[in-house]
Structure 1
Amino acid sequence: MVARLRYVWTLSWCAIVSVVMFPPGAVHYLMRPTAERFWRWMRVWSRVVLGGCGFRVEASGTAYEGAAVIVANHEAMLDIPALLLGIDRPFVFVARSELRRLPIVGWVLALTRCVFIDRGAGGAGLAEAAQRVAEGDAVVFYPEGTRNYGETVRPFLTGAFRLALAADVPVIPVAVDGAPTILNERQKTARSGTVRVRVGAPLHALPGEDPRAFAARARSAVVALLAS
């Protein structure tokens, strides 16, 4: 019963914080701030949301400072604020276009200046992601394609790796561990605890490596980080 009440409180608190921060966040968005300023703004949102629910983030590893494609496993909705606090550099998310229409989640993603990808339109949005990378930003992909409630990391889709190869930038593997045990979206329970974010070493494309092979190598790196 307590775990279910905490789950209700977690969702309610996230909604309250998002609604309160949405108006000033929208103004901030319209001012077109730099990626770094906006990233700092969203880190405030993340700290308030996670702190009010008794969740903590433990980070390890150092993020690559230049333009990059960041790939991470995706287990729960806590991954978004956990990454915002766990990766110590500005970045923007890449997400499915249908998430834009969701209440709260869609608002928050829009305020992060998220790049929305329309899979039904041949991956429309990748050009925008490529432009962000060309400007020196880092973009975060969840290459499993959706949240994965299983114990194994799903095979990675190739979009992020096609972008990295075309832009000649490294891929940064990131492992997020512990979110489903803290906020179980299937059982609708929550408890206090720690989400661990591990940032791996940059992966550069090997000579002649295609997107599928690059994706498999990055997945192996994420799996190794989860096991470490």
Structure 2
Amino acid sequence: MKIFRIIYTIYAVGVFVILMFVFCLFIVTPILISPQGGKVTFFFIRLWASIWSFLVGISYDIQGKEHLDFTKPYIYIFNHRSSLDLPVIPMAIKQELRAIGKKEISKIPVFGFIVSRVAVWVDRKDTASRKASVQRLVEILRKGISVVVAPEGTRNDSGQTLLPFQSGAFRLALETQTPIMPMAVIGADRLMRRGSLILRPGTIHIYFSTPILPENIKGDNPVEQLTEKCFSRLEAMILTHE
């Protein structure tokens, strides 16, 4: 059985790379030509993700779409357990996005170049980099473009439901008064287990809840209160659906 999974993984990675080269110019060119080209760019990103998913036998079950209004910007937060979270985002969220990403990813040949068009890179060890990324995200949200963040700050390879949240996304929500949309991703780590590069086909389940509105947060420490509320909501969603 393991040899078949290795063959399948090689096939899936090969398909991913081939599609990356096929769609590269279609993804990069519109947003380079015009800032309004982002919608076209994300159409091709979703097309890349959907074709790859179909060819490798990965499907997505999305629940709670009634809570979303794609005419409005959100700060999406999700639990990050697997590298397969990458295609989950464009498949689940049907609007233009910008993502916070680790600066190291930008160094991956071709892939880093493509993702750089729709990501805000941050070096978490560099205070100036963190401040610059926050300012860039404020500008993006004020243009009506949503942002997606993994508030744990890294992939969760532990046995905990969630790692402690970093506060950046919640400071950003309070500063811009942008609703936070919790998104629970269930099953991605079963298709690509923690610490393994081996893939297998299957279904990834995505759940949305009602948005959390920063204007409803009152008290002496709104950042901490908002962070705790979002942590509790996302944790409850994961425990309910796992």
The two structures share one fold, judged by TM-score above 0.5: yes
**Identity within the alignment, %:** 23
Q: Distance in 2 between matches of 1:185 and 1:75?
A: 7
Instruction: Indicate the SS of the match to 1:100.
Output: helix
1:207 alignment counterpart? 218
- 1:216 equivalent in structure 2: 228
- After TM superposition, give the deviation of residue 74 of structure 1 in Å: 0.8
Indicate which of 47, 52, 67 corresponds to 1:49: 52
Partner of 2:106: 100
TM (norm. structure 1) is 0.91
Partner of 1:145: 153
1:180-206: CA deviation from partner (whole Å, max 9, x where unpaired): 111236233222101111111110131
Q: Deviations over 1:162-190 (max 9, x none)?
A: 00001111111111111111123623322
| One-letter amino acid of the counterpart of residue 107, structure 1 | F
More helix by share: 2
Tell me the C-alpha RMSD between the 2 structures: 1.8
Amino acid at match of 2:54: G
The aligned residue for residue 30 of structure 2 is 28
The letter for the 1-side match of 2:32 is L
Indicate the larger mover: 129-138 or 205-214.
205-214
Radius of gyration: which is bigger? 2
Kindly indicate whether the alpha-carbon contact (under 8 Å) linking 1:141 and 1:160 is maintained by their aligned counterparts in 2. Answer: yes
Aligned to 1:13: 15
Partner of 1:187: 196
C-alpha distance in structure 1 between counterparts of 2:208 and 2:82, whole Å: 18
Q: Residues 56 and 195 of structure 1 are in contact (CA less than 8 Å); yes or no, is this contact kept in structure 2?
A: yes
Partner of 1:118: 123
Aligned counterpart in structure 2 of residue 37 of structure 1, from 40, 43, 57: 40
What runs of 5+ residues in structure 2 fail to find an aligned partner? none
Q: Which amino acid aligns with 2:83?
A: M
Deviation, 1:121, is 2.9
CA 56–108 in structure 1, closer or farther in 2 if over 3 Å, else same? farther
Residue type at the aligned position of 1:25: I
Gapped regions of structure 1 (runs ≥ 5): none
Q: Which residue of 1 aligns with 2:140?
A: 132
TM-score normalized with structure 2 length: 0.86
Counterparts of 1:203 and 1:133, CA distance in 2:
16
Report the secondary structure of 1:71's partner residue.
strand
Amino acid at match of 1:52: L
Confirm or deny that 1:176 pairs with 2:185: yes
Report the 3-state secondary structure (helix = DSSP H, G, I; strand = E; otherwise coil) of the residue aligned with 2:236.
helix
Q: Is the 8 A contact 1:176 1:196 kept in 2?
A: yes
Matching residue's letter, 2:124: R
